[in-house]
Amino acid sequence: MFGVAQRKGKVSASPIDNLKSSTMIPIVKERVLPESMIYTDEYRTYNSLKKHSYKHKRVHHVSKVWVAGDAHTNTIEGFWSALKRGINGVYHAVSEKHLQSYINEYAFRYNHRNDNSPMFFHFLAQIKP
């Protein structure tokens, strides 16, 4: 799976077939503005971010480093944790066919986590007479 999260903002996520640069970089280009700062772990796929006009900082989880100055991946990891807990606790398992729908549900929940009105009212607003 691949996800992009804004600090204190919204998340966008989707399943992907592989973690190759040729798969992930086009998704980054689609979802992240050029010149944006991107924080990642040390995975080698992210090596080409700078040549695609992104600023890039890493945290080295292999070295047991979780935060390096302002660089951390806690935001997206928090989302993945909520998604996994939701799937295990509510659905117990998911099929590949419906995986994007489950991801969309938890992205919606995450993106509306700070709303003052209950999520139920967001659903009602989507209903057209």
Cβ neighbour number for residue 15 with a 10 Å cutoff: 12
pLDDT tens for each residue of 16-29: 989 999 999 999 99
For the stretch 60-113, pLDDT in tens is 999 999 999 899 999 999 999 999 998 888 888 888 899 999 999 999 989 988
9 exposed, middle or buried (CB, 10 Å; 0-12, 13-18, 19+)? exposed
**Residue range of the domain that includes 55:** 2-126
Q: How many domains does the chain have?
A: 1
pLDDT above 80: residue 1: no
With bands split at pLDDT 50, 70 and 90, how would you rate the model's confidence at 119? confident
Residue 115 has pLDDT above 90, yes or no: no
Could you give the 3-state DSSP secondary structure of residue 59? coil
| 3-state helix vs strand vs coil in the chain, percent to 5 | 50, 15, 35
